[in-house]
Structure 1
Amino acid sequence: MKTPSHRKSGLHPRNRHQAPYDFDALCQRTPELRPLVFVNEHGTQTLDFADPAAVKALNKALLALHYGIQHWDLPAGYLCPPIPGRVDYLHRVADLLAESAGRVPTGKGIRVLDIGVGANCIYPLLGAREYGWRFVGSDIDPVSVKAANLLAKSNGLGGQVECRHQGNAKHVFHGIISPQERFALTLCNPPFHGSLDEASKGSERKLRNLGKAVKGGPVLNFGGQKAELWCEGGEAAFLATMIAQSKEFASQCLWFSSLVSKKENLPAAKKALAQVGARQVRVIDMAQGNKVSRILAWCFLDEATCKQWWQPAPRDDA
């Protein structure tokens, strides 16, 4: 059978997933993946990426082979994230921190807040393994918080990853960040859709793009609970709330950031950032093949003051 030689365009240079998936190595590490792999009409190994079970098994294999995450599972119906794109976010914001730190900062002295950590706990697990960072994850869903904490502990990261329940859905940072806490970075993958119907139609489009017929009622082919996939007003409303509330924590967080899937949401977000007095605003493009997204990052400090944040210089804490 053929092994494709092309590399995945658009990924960060440090991303471990530049090359096509090595299914032989992945199946060796995670045998449950093997029966889901087949040879397509071009003679190359692949999966049915419209099959949630196949996508989940691939994730487990990728995490085990590349990141030493030996125990990873999800409650039924929860969001199963694409690993290459998620770790790309981390690499790009690591470069953002490096601009003021003088180098890519690593170790447990770097504290990161993941807003909407989800049951998959994917950003804390990847960030802890790739950069040694320490994470706090927050979520309004108690099942997600319990599952994420269990994943951290199961992989020996209980002392490095702590997930907290956000009891008020109207708050993003309040109730999670205590008065004495400081974070070098906040992350977020906000709810994309504005309703369950919109989320279902989005999944139907994905399935059609994968050549699958759509039958019956609502379709959520990669899982996802309400808080993971949709909120009133969708991505634009969530971004507006996050930006407005970030001002209160301007002295406790160096860089705030969020994925922005819809490019048309950027102008309003930039306007909102100007209104709250953000001193630095960055739009960082990301791409994986034909899929294009971007990270919106903002900071309430000027560049000179950002450098002072790192005094003494960041170090690799044991």
Structure 2
Amino acid sequence: MAFNQFMHPKNRYKHEPPDFEKLAECFPNFRKHVQHSKRTKKPFVNFRNPNAVRELSKCLLRNDFNLNVELPSDRLSPTVPSRLNYILWLQDLLQCLPTQNRYVVFDIGCGSSCIYPLLGVKLNDNWTFIASEIDAKNFEYAQRNVTTNGLSERVLLHQVLESDNLFSPLGDTDEVDVCMCNPPFFNSKDDAEKSWQRPSANSSCSGDGKEMIFEQGGDLAFAERLLRDSSKVKGRIKWFTIMFGKKLSFTSFKLKLKTSGVSALTSTEFCQGKTMRWAVAWSFIDTLDIDKIPKSQFQLAKSQKTDKPLTFRCKSSTLEDCENAVSKILAELCISFETEHVGHVLFKFKTSKSEWMHNRRKRRLETFKLTSKRLCDAERKCVQRQDTTSEANSQQKSDVQFECLIFLSHNNDGVEAKICSNPMLKEEINAISVHLKRRI
């Protein structure tokens, strides 16, 4: 599935994707990477080829932002549209702050391209950046890219040690409006290789180990380190943000933030092509009006989605038989309900998400336990860890009750059943419908 429709609304590539044909005409080094479909004759680029990705990024930065950058072949080559999404989201976050003449952004780990600071100052005349980098080669290229583009007065780079506090480049006096971080996603080389080998992966990876791997636990562990360090500078930085490459890390960290004493919390998605990334922002300022932050395009689409009632024809020929069967099924499931009779039969009952959370996964785990030889230790731990995260998440919502309705009515074909509920209860309602379809 392509996610381009969910890109940030201000992203120039959302409605005008890169024209590979025109770029090939202007940039000879990119021309050799443009291929044409045999069927449609349309130009395309193989994003699994790291050289093609690197040349495309250089072309877009030069053509659309007047930036000349050098990208080493053994380091990560950033995709410009996705990086642009992050910068545009920072603009959204800054809407919560009082209007200022100047904004300071801190980029933790700028990489060889230094793409976030370069894009940030090009798009915002009143932004300046402080950026850190631990890798010597990355720092050298980043410094060169900043100098080549005449931006040394607006982008200040610091080479740091891996053991340093993440905010050490700020010294004792610098105040920052927002900090950003694109951390290593993986916790080991094996973890990274499994990700690249997935059938859905549609991009290459040519990065150095330190750029992609944080051995202490991947992006989640890095985020937890950032949170610990952020509490020490919370009076000097207004917004803290971090991007995730794994949704499980994203959801786990959001849950941790909710119990960490932060005053404001928001999140978003960065979408490009077949790739989705997730980002979280938090602040220790209790006067921020986060309602000013626009929802992401993905969140808006999700909130506008309405599920149609689940409808099926009953085997029983009379309303009375169907009503008795439904009553018996709900009673067996320990669900309290009320009924109304107005030409049809209406069952009303309430349930909470936590009562039904991941029942299918739990049943599957119980089945696996009976045939333990089929379940390796690693897989069992993975399932149990996901259950723990899900149960912890659902516990906070255990008091939230959702109303569900079951309509039984006559039509030309007999008795029809319709089940209506909040979309959040899709798994639960599907479970109930299985019982109903079998027995009424």
Whether TM exceeds 0.5 here: the answer is yes
Q: Secondary structure at the match of 1:297?
A: strand
Q: Which one has the largest radius of gyration?
A: 2
Once residues 219 and 70 of structure 2 are traced to their aligned partners in structure 1, the CA distance between those partners, rounded to angstroms, is 27
**2:265 maps to 1:268:** no
Q: 1:100 aligns with which of 92, 97, 101?
A: 97
Alignment match, 1:66? 64
**Contact 2:139-2:159 at 8 Å conserved across structures:** yes
Query: Cα distance, 1:128 vs. partner?
Result: 1.1
Which of structures 1 and 2 has the larger relative contact order (alpha carbons within 8 angstroms, sep 6+)?
Answer: 1
Alignment match, 1:46? 44
Alignment match, 1:227? 210
Which consecutive unaligned segments of at least 5 residues does structure 1 have? Answer: 1-5, 211-219, 307-318
Q: Please list the CA deviations of residues 70-127 of structure 1 after superposition, one character each: whole Å capped at 9, or x if unmatched.
A: x21123310001110011011012111113346xx7x7x2111111111111101111
| Residues 1:277 and 1:25: Cα distance change in structure 2 (over 3 Å) | same
Once residues 247 and 131 of structure 1 are traced to their aligned partners in structure 2, the CA distance between those partners, rounded to angstroms, is 28
> 1:100 is matched by which residue type in structure 2?
L
Query: Cα distance, 1:284 vs. partner?
Result: 1.4
**Contact 2:4-2:271 at 8 Å conserved across structures:** no
**2:77 maps to 1:80:** yes
**Contact 2:96-2:289 at 8 Å conserved across structures:** no
Q: Secondary structure at the match of 1:176?
A: helix
| Residues 1:36 and 1:305: Cα distance change in structure 2 (over 3 Å) | closer
Equivalent runs, 1:112-127 vs 2, <5 Å: 112-127=105-120
Alignment match, 1:138? 132
Q: Secondary structure at the match of 1:94?
A: helix
> 2:88 is matched by which residue type in structure 1?
H
Higher mean alpha-carbon deviation, 92-101 vs 236-245, is at: 92-101
Once residues 17 and 72 of structure 1 are traced to their aligned partners in structure 2, the CA distance between those partners, rounded to angstroms, is 20
Query: Cα distance, 1:190 vs. partner?
Result: 1.0
Q: Please list the CA deviations of residues 148-178 of structure 1 after superposition, one character each: whole Å capped at 9, or x if unmatched.
A: 01100001111111211122435311x2111
Query: Cα distance, 1:271 vs. partner?
Result: 4.2
Once residues 253 and 7 of structure 1 are traced to their aligned partners in structure 2, the CA distance between those partners, rounded to angstroms, is 32
Q: Please list the CA deviations of residues 229-284 of structure 1 after superposition, one character each: whole Å capped at 9, or x if unmatched.
A: 01121111111100111011101111000112222223432343345421001111
Once residues 305 and 209 of structure 1 are traced to their aligned partners in structure 2, the CA distance between those partners, rounded to angstroms, is 38
Once residues 13 and 186 of structure 1 are traced to their aligned partners in structure 2, the CA distance between those partners, rounded to angstroms, is 22
> 1:58 is matched by which residue type in structure 2?
L
Greater than 6 Å deviation, 4+ residue runs = none
Q: How high is the TM-score relative to the length of structure 1? A: 0.83
Q: 1:247 aligns with which of 220, 231, 255?
A: 231
Which consecutive unaligned segments of at least 5 residues does structure 2 have? Answer: 291-440
Once residues 9 and 267 of structure 1 are traced to their aligned partners in structure 2, the CA distance between those partners, rounded to angstroms, is 23
**2:165 maps to 1:186:** no
Query: Cα distance, 1:66 vs. partner?
Result: 0.6
**Contact 1:8-1:20 at 8 Å conserved across structures:** no
Alignment match, 1:111? 104
% same residue: 29
**2:4 maps to 1:8:** yes
| Residues 1:166 and 1:272: Cα distance change in structure 2 (over 3 Å) | farther
Alignment match, 1:31? 28
Q: Secondary structure at the match of 1:99?
A: coil
Alignment match, 1:215? none
Once residues 167 and 35 of structure 1 are traced to their aligned partners in structure 2, the CA distance between those partners, rounded to angstroms, is 39
Q: 1:292 aligns with which of 276, 292, 295?
A: 276
Q: Secondary structure at the match of 2:156?
A: strand
| Residues 1:288 and 1:221: Cα distance change in structure 2 (over 3 Å) | closer
> 1:152 is matched by which residue type in structure 2?
V
Query: Cα distance, 1:136 vs. partner?
Result: 1.2
Q: Secondary structure at the match of 2:207?
A: coil
**Contact 1:149-1:161 at 8 Å conserved across structures:** no
Higher mean alpha-carbon deviation, 45-54 vs 164-173, is at: 164-173
> 2:60 is matched by which residue type in structure 1?
L
How many residues align structurally? Answer: 285
Alignment match, 1:315? none
| Residues 1:192 and 1:131: Cα distance change in structure 2 (over 3 Å) | same
> 2:133 is matched by which residue type in structure 1?
D
What is the RMSD of the two structures over their aligned residues, measured on CA atoms? 2.3
Once residues 270 and 54 of structure 2 are traced to their aligned partners in structure 1, the CA distance between those partners, rounded to angstroms, is 23
Q: How high is the TM-score relative to the length of structure 2? A: 0.61
Q: Secondary structure at the match of 2:166?
A: coil
**Contact 2:74-2:207 at 8 Å conserved across structures:** yes
Alignment match, 2:345? none
> 1:149 is matched by which residue type in structure 2?
Q
Q: Secondary structure at the match of 1:193?
A: coil
